[in-house]
Structure 1
Amino acid sequence: MIPQTDTAASVADPRQIAEIEADTIADMYLTFALGDEEYGVGIAGVTEIVGMQRIMPIPDMPPYLKGVINLRGKVIPLMDVRLRFRMPERAYDDRTVIIVMEVEDAPVGLIVDGVREVREIPPGQIDAHMRGRDGARSVIAGIGRVGDRVSVLLDPPVLVSDEDLTLMRQSEGA
């Protein structure tokens, strides 16, 4: 005979479930490759990952702002993260992808060499935040460690600066 259980006591409060899910998502990072290094962005800001598409160049932009794509009727400005970090340019291939994110209520596509995985990196496994020159915020939010793997965790609002967002918004209206 199967013992009876109090189902009301075994069911979690929906608010507790939402808090647990929010905490879990806050610790999840989409990792990607740039050259031989691994970088990551918080999964909460990622909308989708798409393969390379035809890019419409926009004149008078910094070299790392490659142009825009039309993704299901939505114009998405693209930033080549490799060029943003002053790494050598490389031809896009079948592993190159666009990580579409919402950064300060604006869609942005980050072009990266390839996606690796979604990993949970708890706050206790993230080394102290790094600072830019003169105490300015850095594009690096921290260094995440899981086992023997290290990921440079990026701060998307700093990666996509206010100036870049302004240029991108202007290009959408063009």
Structure 2
Amino acid sequence: MVGIPDFLTGRGHDQAPEFQELESPEGELHLRFYVSSGTEFALPATGIKEVLSPPPDRITPIPNVSPLLLGTLNVRGRVVWVADLGQFLGDSVPLNTDRPEVSVIAVEDQDLMLGLAVDRIVGMEWLDLDEVQMPQNVPDSVAPFLRGEWILDTLASKYLRLLDQIAILRSARWAA
């Protein structure tokens, strides 16, 4: 059977030699998600270690830490701090943890890993970095953590804001 030429090429006598061209994606791969206030953000896929959906009771609250931190999560034997990304970025609406699963985006830089709890993950999408613009009318609490934004709808003032995960990880806000 291995010596049959049609077997090696994947074509039989009854198959036409048509090939389907795969379109190459434009831009870079990003994860799109929402925080509790309804604002949509994106992170570059290259900066994401993994996406988790633990039940809230697996996140262990730790007393006397920053109110931005929900607690710790055991990820395959590694303790990872989990933070409410929306509140970190200045949202007044806390993340609702009264649900079956909490969406957590684990980001890492060198030996530091942090879980960013978000309201809802949209999914992965190829986005063109050439279309990123400097952010307009951004709250001061968000500005240091933005690389730019894509304008989705100018009339409705809808933007997709690109976050800098390293700036978030290295922020002095965690000490507060």
Structure-1-length-normalised TM-score? 0.68
The equivalent residue for 1:157 is 166
1:59 CA drift (Å) = 2.7
Structure 1, unmatched stretches of 5+, are: 1-19, 168-174
Is 1:102 aligned to residue 108 of structure 2?
A: yes
SS class of match (2:63): coil
* Aligned 8 A contact 1:101 1:107 in 2: yes
How many equivalent residue pairs? 141
The equivalent residue for 1:43 is 45
Q: Distance in 2 between matches of 1:163 and 1:90?
A: 21
1:150 CA drift (Å) = 3.0
The equivalent residue for 1:62 is 66
Paired letter, 1:160:
L
1:140 CA drift (Å) = 1.0
1:38 CA drift (Å) = 0.9
SS class of match (1:89): coil
The equivalent residue for 2:84 is 80
Q: Distance in 1 between matches of 2:110 and 2:144?
A: 17
Deviations 1:45-83 (A, max 9, x none): 112111134212223221112221111111111111121
Paired letter, 1:55:
I
CA RMSD of the aligned region, Å? Answer: 2.9
* Aligned 8 A contact 2:134 2:149 in 1: yes
The 5-angstrom pairing of residues 106-145 of structure 1 reads 106-128=112-134, 138-145=144-151
Mark the CA change 1:147 to 1:104 in structure 2 (over 3 Å): closer, same or farther. farther
1:162 CA drift (Å) = 4.2
SS class of match (1:83): helix
1:113 CA drift (Å) = 0.3
The equivalent residue for 2:31 is 30
1:156 CA drift (Å) = 1.1
The equivalent residue for 1:89 is 94
Pick the structure with more helix per residue.
1
Deviations 1:1-26 (A, max 9, x none): xxxxxxxxxxxxxxxxxxx99x95xx
Mark the CA change 1:55 to 1:71 in structure 2 (over 3 Å): closer, same or farther. same
Paired letter, 1:128:
M
1:42 CA drift (Å) = 0.7
Structure-2-length-normalised TM-score? 0.67
Q: 1:52 aligns with which of 29, 51, 54?
A: 54
Question: Which moved further from structure 2: 112-121 or 149-158?
Answer: 149-158
